[in-house]
Chains A and B, each alone.
Chain A
Amino acid sequence: MNFLQFMMANRQQVLELTLEHITLSGVATLLAALVGIPLGILITRVPQLSKPVLGAANIIQTIPSLALFGFLLPAPWIGARGGRLAILALALYGLLPLIRNTYAGIQGVDPAIVEAGRAMGLTDRQLLLQVELPLASGVIVAGVRIATVLSIGLATIAAAIGAGGLGEFIFRGLAMVNNQVILAGAIPAALLALLADFALGRLEQLLGSMHLKPQEQH
């Protein structure tokens, strides 16, 4: 039985695991964005926090993923269900690119423009929502893109703790020493990552080129 035949024969399960995979990485990235973007904004407002926050996110990033899943297993409520645990772990990994890019994006806005806004009498909130975030949006989306791709890749390991996703095929294939089964998990996961990368890349380009292209038209 070759790879394609295997996929066709198990298409129901391939579809299910793919959806599960999308849910795992999607919810994790969303969670990471909900925490990471505000944290990134916060550390531009309270500069003393930037070192500890970025440092902590950095340290999380260095924990090997299997070890992180293992660490979280005994945690109450979270450890009880593989899915919850996987989402939490994946979200933790997504924090660094989101915090860092939000921070860098806002810090990268031309200080003359921010000062002009402040001098015109914009409040801090108006400055953030109308000037800094729109101008940083390209860089922030780049962070979302990195976090998403990272999360889709890492989510294959989530099967190790029973969270499902396309990693199921990979681990099953490894156990069966069957390459077709491994590929049935690996190829859709890779395609998902590429697709997300492409789509978010386009969005990033759109946001980035909307205004920052220095072109003179007289």
Chain B
Amino acid sequence: MTAPPTAPFASVSGNEKSAIEFDRASFSLNGRPLLHDLVLTVKHGETLVLLGRSGSGKTTTLKLINRLLLPTSGEVRVNGRRTEEWDPIRLRRGIGYVIQDGGLFPHYTVERNVALVPRIENWPQPRVEARVRELLATVGLSADLASRYPNQLSGGQRQRVGVARALAADPPILILDEAFGALDPITRSEMQKEFRALQQRMRKTVIFVTHDLREALLLADRIALMEAGRLVVDLPVAEFLRSDDPLVRAYMEAFSALPDSVMVPSNRDSQ
């Protein structure tokens, strides 16, 4: 990770204690509330997992961070600045975004997909090329894949390219929406561990959305559990495990109720 962070973004980062703050942020669409009075802070370098069922408001929360949505009331601040005040293009280029199945451009090769943000940021060509090589290695992909198209890759490879693309311009913040949700259990478990190792090296501010408790426990410093557009609990992992909130208990039971044979063996040693 030698590339310097995107300059305009870095100029406001570092001085603030928290990277992202939700201050009674609500969002409703056509009068239907999707997110209600969210109060949540993510510190620099922290990995926060947003856990919850589909429709609980996790994805809405993510989209408020990179201004794909603006709060209908309350505030969302990134590096101390309200998202309304950010130039959306600058804001987004400082936030890596990974979605299920990678969200790669199907008409771009792996190389062009990964190089997307560096190119639109007008990095010189040799630096872009070096960065792509470095990133493919970082996410464990062979350099031979650079000239392939996404439909010529396996699901796991596409997901790795998605992560590489999000990291390309070395953004200080990374948001992932069910990033490993489309993968088979073994690939998924591999990706989770690699991502954790990567995060321990990079120390980026990470917000990771999932409905999988096991994934949350593996990756999170802190877990924010959401339900029906509201934050239920927001706790460090150790405290989350001890929480007696009924919904937390329900989650724990749902996951421990799985017969042992369902669990991937390699998953077990990490918990």
Contacts and interface: CB of A to CB of B under 8 A. Distances in A.
Contact of B116 (A118, A120, A210, A217): A120
B93 interface: yes
A119 interface: yes
B200 interface: no
A64 B264 CA distance: 68
Nearest to A109: B106
Nearest to B112: A130
B89 A218 contact: no
A131 interface: yes
B90 A117 contact: no
B92 A121 contact: yes
Given A119-B68, A119-B97, A121-B117, A113 B89 contact: no
Contacts of A121: 88-93, 117, 120
Contacts of B90: 121
A117 B116 CA distance: 9
Contacts of B92: 118-121
B107 A211 contact: yes
A112 B116 CA distance: 16
Interface stretch (B74-82, B148-156, B217-225, B235-243): B148-156
B120 A122 contact: yes
Contact of A216 (B95, B97, B120, B154): B154
B103 A112 contact: yes
B120 A117 contact: no
Contacts of B103: 112-113, 115-116
Interface residues of B, number: 27
Given A121-B93, A121-B120, A135-B106, A211 B99 contact: no
Contacts of A210: 107
B211 interface: no
Interface size class of A (residues with CB under 8 A): 20 to 34
Given A118-B92, A119-B68, A211-B151, A131 B105 contact: yes
Given A135-B106, A218-B154, A120 B93 contact: yes
Interface in B93-119: 93, 95, 97, 99, 101, 103-107, 116-117
B120 A116 contact: no
A213 interface: yes
**Residue of A121, A131, A211 ringed by the most chain B CB atoms within 10 A:** A121
Contact of B105 (A113, A118, A123, A216): A113
Contacts of B91: 121
Nearest to A137: B107
B93 A112 contact: no
Contacts of A120: 92-93, 97, 116-117, 165
A120 B97 CA distance: 7
Contacts of B93: 120-121
A13 interface: no
A137 to B, nearest CB: 9
B66 interface: yes
Nearest to B165: A120
Contacts of B150: 211
B106 A211 contact: yes
Nearest to A131: B105
Interface in A110-147: 112-113, 115-123, 126, 130-131, 134-135
Contacts of B88: 121
Nearest to B148: A217
B7 to A, nearest CB: 14
A52 interface: no
A130 B105 CA distance: 9
Contacts of B101: 112
14 contacts: A112-B99, A113-B106, A115-B103, A116-B104, A119-B97, A120-B93, A120-B97, A120-B116, A120-B117, A121-B90, A121-B117, A122-B120, A131-B105, A213-B151
- In the A-B complex, the 7 residue pairs with the smallest Cβ-Cβ separation, listed nearest first, are A116-B103, A121-B93, A121-B92, A119-B97, A211-B106, A211-B107, A218-B154
